[in-house]
A = this chain, B = another copy of it.
Amino acid sequence: MHQDPEQLFTYIRSISELSEESVEALGGVISPVEFRKGDYLLKEGEICAAIFFITKGYCRSVQYSDGSEINMDFYFENDFASNIRSLSQRTASGYAIQACEALRAIRIDRDKLLEAYKRSPQIEAFGRKLLEMMMARQEEHAGLFKLLDAAERYRWLQQHQPEMIRREPLTQLASYLGVSRETLSRIRAKK
């Protein structure tokens, strides 16, 4: 028996109520999945049909723009990765989600989740909570570029996402912070 679903249930219990019946109902919605480094959880242009709860390893959302690739976000253990826009509006995704290392995750199927909402108010509440959390994360993020310069953004990351700095090579971080790798290297050099 796979232990990863239990990690998801534990996590959900930490943010909302979850009875045994709801766990039962969620069982039909989720499935453990594995990816190798470089594999895609979601490809650019696909319609996103699931939310992934990362249990081991990490991945990135990445957008390809005239030749070069730009990292939009990173998702680590206990994060939820998805393209909510594509998921809810059933439109093609503008970016891909790709494993940066060997990755284990719990796949939460969109259609089955919508079904489960009808059967369990607790699952419904979790779904809303999930959206709120993803929204909050992005709302926090959104302001960074307008408010801070390159060095300040890096310092913000040090304080708020040290995990990212520890695990991600400089070149990838630079693309995430919206600066060239040379500039980030120089920011790091001084103090």
Contacts and interface: CB of A to CB of B under 8 A. Distances in A.
Interface of A: 63, 65, 70, 72, 83-85, 87-89, 94-95, 117-118, 121, 124-125, 127-129, 131-136, 138-143, 145-147, 178
Contacts of A145: 145-146, 178
Given A118-B121, A141-B142, A142-B141, A135 B84 contact: yes
Closest 4 CB pairs of A and B: A145-B145, A85-B136, A88-B132, A131-B131
Given A131-B128, A134-B135, A140 B85 contact: yes
A146 B88 contact: no
Nearest to A89: B136
20 contacts: A63-B143, A63-B147, A65-B147, A83-B139, A84-B136, A84-B139, A85-B135, A85-B139, A87-B132, A88-B132, A89-B132, A89-B136, A94-B143, A95-B143, A117-B124, A117-B128, A118-B121, A131-B132, A134-B135, A145-B178
Contacts of A128: 117, 124, 127-128, 131
Contact of A70 (B124, B141, B146): B146
A87 to B, nearest CB: 8
A136 B90 CA distance: 12
B139 A138 contact: yes
Contacts of A147: 63, 65, 70
Contacts of A139: 83-85, 138
